[in-house]
Structures are given as structure tokens and as C-alpha cells.
Chains A and B, each alone.
Chain A
Amino acid sequence: MSTEETNLKKIQVQRYEPESDPDQHYLNEETGIWAWLTTVDHKKIGLMYLASVTFFFFVGGIMALLVRTELWTPAKTFIEANTYNQIFTLHGAIMVFLFLVPSVPAALGNFFLPLQLGAKDVAFPRLNLLSYYLYVAGALIAIVSIVNGGIDTGWTFYTPYSSTTGGAVTTMVFGVFVIGFSSILTGVNFITTIHKMRAPGLSWDKLSLFSWSLYATSIIQILATPVLAITLALVGLERLLGIGIFDPALGGDPVLFQHFFWFYSHPAVYIMIVPGFGIVSEVITTFSKKHIFGYWAIALSSLAIAFIGFLVWGHHMFVSGQASLASMVFSFLTFLVGIPTGIKMFNWTATLYKGSIKLASPLLYIFGFFFLFLVGGLTGIVLGSIALNVHLHDTYYVVAHFHFVMVGGMVMAFLAGVHYWWPKMTGRLYNETLAKIACGIIFVGFNVTFLPQFVMGSLGMPRRYFNYIEQFQVYHQISTIGSYILGIGFVMIFYYLVKSIYTGEKASPNPWGSRALEWQVNSLPPLHNFHHTPVIINGPYDYHKPMDEFQLGLAESGNGHGTEVDVSSTEEKPQAE
């Protein structure tokens, strides 16, 4: 808004109370399979992403269970070494590229960013649909590569192994290349949306922290993903045409690949986790009914992570033969990037101080996140220290560390988000008791799976090992049992969430009493989100202000779409902003 103008202009606002169970909503205004496939509605696209990432999460999860089962005994338990190598590769590639990267931004972000901004949709709705189809196309290409010989390179595709091994590596990297564009386009879309589509009055200091986290994530997606695309294209060219870039037999440099790869893949770690941070802020404030502590510290630390995160890739390469000086600089920057993350943890804890804390299932998942991510982060400090990294690099310690961050942190935050926003997405409430039990099962199963991996990693058990020495068997077996418990937890969540769609109690528009804008629309939301143009006078965490101040909209205008709705309350508030 141009300030000069609006400071002088008075606008008429009125309160629009959200309706429960409205006659018309986004799921029944357009119907039929074709309407879904061609929809430009960000909410439907978000749901399609949610279904897709859930599907791939279960596929990747089955791979994980196969890997863990095979590791029950040293050497062969029930599958061959080559098959094992393909399965752990697929587990990693599917989980990273088809689940973790798109999960929060593309599924939950798509659904809720425009709602939180008071916008009718994202800035480029058709581009949004294209992103989804690129994701699907990339996934299909990846599936073709699995059927067509598989890949056994690990999800990291290290050269010269990946340039010389058999299988369908070229097809797979092409699939990842295509998925990369999906990610880039989503990033472009979100940045534009956040800059240009905010509702009247929604200044940057009133932006939700989930939106801030998506903003930081989008920056990384736009800047880092092209590097991955180029790198993988080079691997493909090397395999197809024999151009020597990474393979020393052709005059290339294998370590160069690692630099390129981690230049994307380290920031990609933040693509995966930063949106999770956004969810934590939303859920903690809602369930403690309290203003976030240190709004700017949290918002800006996401941006700081996004920027410093670009300069730490070399910490994956301390033993690769890179110069000691480079290792020193990378180690230093790695510790710096830990600080903004630590600040967030402290701020979230402080937010709970003198709050009104309701231990509902979304918050329970957040507390799961809290402990697991803390362990993941602190073991990251261990790994950032060069001397310790030399001992622990490429052992199970690293495997446990990134699972604590990615599953313990990111997946728990994602589950918290799904549980938190489920009533808005589906209009239904799930079984709260089952949700709490499942959260407990996952928490226990996760720790049983991954804590032993820290121990065997410190003892020297290398990762990506089909066979191992006897000494490690007991840890492997505990870990395998844990993975089954974890699996049961995830199946349980799937069960009660799906069940709630059919038999769940109907949800009120704002079951948690949140002040955030997405809760001030109908449940289910209308196709174009708001029947009015929302006007924002408070921040999304201003729990000291009354609810009616969060439901304001322009009095006269409608939103340019369709019929006006009945306005249940018409008290007028002169607005001087």
C-alpha cells in the first residue's frame, strides 16, 4: 500500500464471522475428476501434493523397512547386496526429492500461504499447476528408472561411481532434474505472492512466521536448485557422451562433483527444515494463546539460515582431500549457521512462558519435534567440529544425525502441521486420543530406531554397509525393532486421518481459537478463500486483542468473485490506518 494515500483515506470495514459447514466451498464449487486435474485453486493443488507426498512417504518408508530388515543379520538376511544397494538408494532419493523437499512448502504451503496473506490464490495459479505436473512427471521418470535397471549410487550420486556404474542413472538424474524445476517454480510463485498479494494492512511485521519461513525457503529453492539441475545434467552428459567433467579416466575431477552437489544439497537441507520451523511458530502460539516471543528474531533467523546455509557445503567434505584452510572456513561457518537455529529454540521455549498451554495433538507433535530436533542439532555441532567429523564422517552417527533432523525434526513438524490444519483442509476433526497415542508411538519408535545408530556410529560402523562385523549386530537389531514400531505409528496416523474424512465430527471454523487469518475463513473455505477483502489491523499472534478485530473486511466491495454472502454481524469500525 502506498502510505501517503491511505493514511489520509478512511475505509469502511465490517466484521465477517466465518461460517461452519457452508453450502458452497472449494470442494463442491467445481467437481469431477477433470476439475481436479485442471484446477488452478491453490487449495486443491495443495491437497494433490499432500496425497502425492504421502504416497511417496509410504513407498520410501517401505524401502526403509526393507533396509532395516536386511540388516537384522550381517551379510545376507533375505536380499542380495546389489538389491540392498538399490533399495537404500531409492529410500534416500524418494524421501529427499519426492517427500521432504515438496512436503511442507508445496502441500501445506500451497494450501495456507494465500489464506494467511488474505489472498484469493497464489500470484501465478497456472504456474502452480505446472509445478505439480512437473513433480508428477519427474516422479514418473524416476519410477521408469527403477523399473529400467534401477540405480545403486546412493542418493548423492557421487562420481566417478555414478558415471561408471550400470543401471538407469541417467534416467534417474533426469527425473530429479525435472522435479527441480517444480521446486524452482513453486519458489518463484511464493516469493511473488508474498510480495504482491498481501491483504490491505498486512505489512511485513504482521506477516505470519510460517509465511516468513516459506519466503526464506523460496529464496533457497530459486538460488540453489539450478545448481543441482546443472550438476545432474553434467553427470548425464558424461554418461551419454563421455564428456570428461567428473570422471578422472576422462580427465575430469571427481571432487568437483561433490562441491557442486553439496552446494545445492546443503541448502536443500534448509529447504526441508525451515518451513517446519514456520509450523512450530504457528502451533506453539495457537496452543499457548500467546504472542510469539521475539518475532523479528525468528523471522530474520530464517533468512540468516537461508543465506549462511549457502556457505557451509564444504562440511560434507572434510575428508575428501579439500584444503585444510577450506575445511577451517567451512567448519567456522557451519557453527555460525547453528546460532540462528539455536535462537529459534530459545524463543519458542520463551513463548510458552506464562502462556495458556493446551496439550492438544499438534502441540504434542511439536514437543516431539523439539526434543528430536534438539538432539539432531546438537549432534550437528559434534559433526561440525573437524576432528570429530574425521572420525564420524560416513558412519551411522551421520545417518542418525540427519534422521533426527529430517524425520525427528521435519517429519514431526510436518505431522504437527497436518494435524493443526486438518480441520481447515477437510472440515473434520480426527480422533484426538488416537492422535496422541500415535504421537507417542512415533516418538518411542523413532528413538529406539536411531539412538542405537549414534552408538554404533561412534564405535565405527560405516553407513551403506550390506555386511557388518558381529560387534554391531545388537545395535542393528534394536534399530530394526524400532523401525517397525515407527512404521506402526505412521500407519495409525494414516488410518485415523482418512477415517475422519468419512466419520469425523464436523469442525468449527476455528477449533483452536487461533488469531491467524487462515482460521477466520469458513470451514471448508470458499473456492476463492474470502467472500470479502480482508483488512488486517493486528498481527497473527496478538492474543491480547479480541477475536472480532481479526475478522475484518472491506465493507462494500465483496472480493470480485460471485455472490455476496449474508453478513452475520455488521458492526462498523472506523479504521484510520
Chain B
Amino acid sequence: MDALNDLLLPPAKSTLAHQTDTLFWFVHLSGLVLTIGLIGVLIYFVIKYRRESEDEVTPLITHNNKLEVTWSVIPLIMVLIVFGWGYQVFMEQRVAPDDAYEVNVTGQKWIWQFTYENGARTNGELHVPAGRPVKLIMNSSDVIHSFYVPDYRIKQDVLPGRYTEVWFNAPEPGESIVFCTEYCGTSHSDMTAKVIVHEEGEFENWLADNAGGGGMPEDLAPAEWGEQLAQEWACSTCHSADGSDMTGPTWQGLFGHEVQLSDGSTVTADENYIRESILEPGAKVVDGYPNVMNTYQGQLNDEQINAIIEYIKTLK
């Protein structure tokens, strides 16, 4: 059974994943039995009753109430079992325990952002303690996204203007991938994240180290920090550092050069232009690129924006 599991299902890394898997196998194996049975009967009939002469006369069999009731009622009972079972597992998945550890999640094109109780913030990485229920309170700042962790068998749409919740309990330390599963445009398939499960004590340390969030680490120069931020905040999903053409214009050779805008005018890419483009992306759109970037107003602080500008300056 484990071998089958590995073939068809991702590793079960939450406390409830096994419940989903058991139901998964129950439905698939009963379906397989039915398929083999029905196709077997069909093939048998085709061979046994193949036409041997064009004049063959077939018996008149119009219906058979007993038979028809049987093959209506037995499948009905089967599907009712699957229904009840599925609903019961679902309800356990839905209702988070009262003592769950809460993390806020924001989805936006094309990045997952996580905010913790003490103000710590991460992008693209969700840090959680092992062996403790974690409840995610999620919303979106643009279109609908969906938060999916295959290893936990959980998925929940993330909506603009409304909160949705999902919870899980990962007993072992480790990492699992998060996918966005509601189509959200150009880089939908790059809107992934990682859940990083820490031992309880290790998690507390991590949390304390990142309290407040958003300060420059002491061991980094501003440009280095800027490079890190560009990764974390998914700038690099759309803006390359090596001149290759992605959803947005490349940052290589950007600073200090003329930029052709979509309204026909040109502008020199200085600090003010870059700052404006981060906070108000629609104000000056570069010619040939779609106006799809979100504002980072209220998300990146001045220190972080400065660091990103320093980083862009280094990309000659």
C-alpha cells in the first residue's frame, strides 16, 4: 500500500493527510473493480454473441425490474458511503482546533506573504512549528488565488475583500511546497512558496530573530540586502538581472538610462523614477510591457526600497 501511495500521492506530511489517502484508495479500488467487471462482461458478450450470420434473430428482452433495481440501489449505497465519508473527513479539515497557532497570509500577483504574531514577515516561505495546529487567515490584495499544499492535502481559495481560513498540523520538521491553484495570470505557475516546519524551540528562535520584520541584517551591504529582497518579494519573477526579457523590463543597465514609456515620452531611470515605479507601477509604464504590476505601497518600507535601488544600481 505504501508503494502505491508513493506512486500516486505526495508524501503525507500532516496529521490528517492519511484520512484523505484512505478514502482515495477506497474509491479508486472500488472503481477499478467495477471497471474491470463491467468491461469484462462487455468483452465476454462481444465474443460470445458475435454475429455469425446476417439472418440471426435476437430474443425480445425489454427490461427486468429486479435486475434494474439491484444495479440502481447498490451503486446508490456505495456513493452514499463515499459521500458521508468524504464529508466527515472534510469537516475535520475545516474546523481548526482552538489552540491553533495563527499566521496571516496575503496572496498577490505573484507572491505569497506571511505575517506572524510579533510582526515578523516573510515572503515565499511559511515558517511553522512542528506538532502544533497552524491556522492560516488568508486574503488577497488583487485577484483570486488558491493556497495548496499537496503534502498536507489542503487547499483553500484566497479571495480579495474577504478572509478565508485553512489549517494543518505537520508533526515532523521538513519542507513542503505551496502552489497557487487559482489561475492568476502571467506568472501564476511561479507563485509558489515553501512551508518550513521547525522543531518547536527552533521555531521560537526563528520568530524572535525576525521580530518586527523589515530591518536590514547587520552583516549585509544595502545592495546585497536589495538583491535578497528582490528575490523574497518576487521582483525577480518578472524583472531579470541579466538582460533577459520577462514579464517586466530587465533591470540590467536600467539605472541612469533613458526609458521609453508607453505614452510616447521618455524618462531617465533615476532614484525617483524607480521609487515611483515600485509604489505606483501604473504611473509610468515602459513601452511594450503590460501594466500588470501591483503596488508595493505599505509593504516595502523606505529602507527596503533604498536597498533595492542600490541593488539595481549595481546591475550595469
Contacts and interface: CB of A to CB of B under 8 A. Distances in A.
Interface of A: 81-82, 85, 152-154, 158, 160-161, 164-166, 248-249, 254-255, 288-291, 293-297, 318-321, 324, 327-328, 331-332, 335, 338-339, 342-343, 345-347, 349-350, 352-359, 367, 370-371, 374-375, 378-379, 381-382, 384-391, 393-395, 455, 458-460, 462-469, 513, 542-544
Contacts of B52: 356
Interface stretch (B114-122, B185-193, B204-212, B269-277): B185-193
Size bracket, chain B contacts: 35 or more
Interface string B152-170: 0111110111101000000
Given A161-B183, A319-B156, A367-B42, A385 B146 contact: no
A297 B62 contact: no
A261 to B, nearest CB: 13
Contacts of B67: 350
A135 B71 CA distance: 41
B83 A291 contact: no
Contacts of B9: 458-459
B86 interface: yes
Contacts of A339: 72, 75-76, 79
Interface stretch (B124-132, B174-182, B223-231): B174-182
B35 interface: yes
A332 B81 CA distance: 11
Contact of B160 (A248, A346, A382): A248
Nearest to B24: A388
Contacts of A385: 23, 27, 82-83, 85-86
A358 B57 contact: no
A295 B57 CA distance: 19
A331 B87 CA distance: 8
Contact of B90 (A248, A350, A387, A469): A387
B38 A374 contact: yes
B291 interface: yes
B58 interface: yes
Contact of B28 (A296, A370, A382): A382
A349 B161 CA distance: 52
Nearest to A352: B45
A508 to B, nearest CB: 13
Contacts of A387: 19-20, 23, 85-90, 93, 153
Contact of B187 (A81, A347, A394): A81
Contact of A394 (B50, B76, B181): B181
Contacts of A386: 86-87, 89-90
Contact of B181 (A255, A297, A346, A393): A393
A254 B159 contact: yes
Given A161-B183, A353-B61, A384 B83 contact: yes
B59 interface: yes
B91 interface: yes
B247 interface: yes
Interface of B: 7-10, 19-20, 23-24, 27-28, 31, 34-35, 38-39, 41-42, 45-46, 49-52, 54, 56-64, 67-68, 71-72, 75-76, 79-80, 82-83, 85-91, 93-94, 142-144, 146, 148, 150-151, 153-157, 159-162, 164, 177, 179-190, 247, 290-292
Given A160-B160, A291-B61, A332-B83, 7 more contacts: A85-B188, A161-B143, A353-B45, A367-B46, A381-B79, A385-B85, A391-B154
Counting chain A CB atoms within 10 Å of each CB, the highest count among B86, B90, B187 belongs to B86
A375 B32 CA distance: 9
A464 B51 contact: no
B68 A343 contact: yes
Nearest to A328: B87
Contact of A378 (B31, B88, B160): B31
B186 A321 contact: no
A392 B94 CA distance: 16
B85 A297 contact: no
A61 B2 CA distance: 38
Contacts of A390: 20, 90, 93, 153-155
B51 A467 contact: no
A460 B90 CA distance: 18
Given A371-B39, A466-B189, A291 B51 contact: no
B149 to A, nearest CB: 9
A263 B19 CA distance: 31
Contacts of A346: 38, 68, 71
A382 B27 contact: yes
A321 B39 CA distance: 39
Given A295-B62, A387-B23, A331 B144 contact: no
25 contacts: A81-B187, A82-B290, A153-B183, A160-B160, A166-B290, A293-B61, A297-B68, A320-B157, A321-B162, A328-B87, A338-B75, A346-B68, A355-B45, A356-B56, A384-B82, A385-B82, A387-B87, A390-B20, A390-B93, A391-B154, A393-B155, A394-B181, A458-B24, A464-B189, A544-B57
Contacts of B188: 85, 464-466
A480 B86 CA distance: 33
B49 A459 contact: no
B56 to A, nearest CB: 4
Counting chain B CB atoms within 10 Å of each CB, the highest count among A465, A513, A543 belongs to A465
Contacts of B56: 289, 356
Nearest to A543: B58
A319 B183 contact: no
B31 A381 contact: yes
Contacts of B161: 248-249, 254
A357 B46 contact: yes
A353 B49 contact: yes
- Smallest CB-CB A-B distances: 6 pairs: A460-B150, A385-B86, A248-B161, A387-B89, A465-B189, A378-B31
Nearest to B60: A544
A335 B83 contact: yes
Nearest to B39: A371
Contacts of B51: 289, 356-358
Given A349-B41, A467-B189, A459 B150 contact: yes
A289 B31 CA distance: 30
A301 to B, nearest CB: 10
Contacts of B164: 321
Contacts of A394: 146, 148, 155, 181-182
B179 A462 contact: yes
A291 B60 contact: yes
Nearest to A455: B8
A375 B182 contact: no
Contact of B189 (A288, A367, A379, A468): A468
B249 to A, nearest CB: 14
A342 to B, nearest CB: 5
Given A342-B71, A358-B51, A462 B159 contact: no
A455 B146 CA distance: 21
B144 A161 contact: yes
A295 B182 CA distance: 43
Nearest to B89: A387
Given A160-B143, A381-B82, A385-B83, A359 B38 contact: no
Nearest to B192: A469
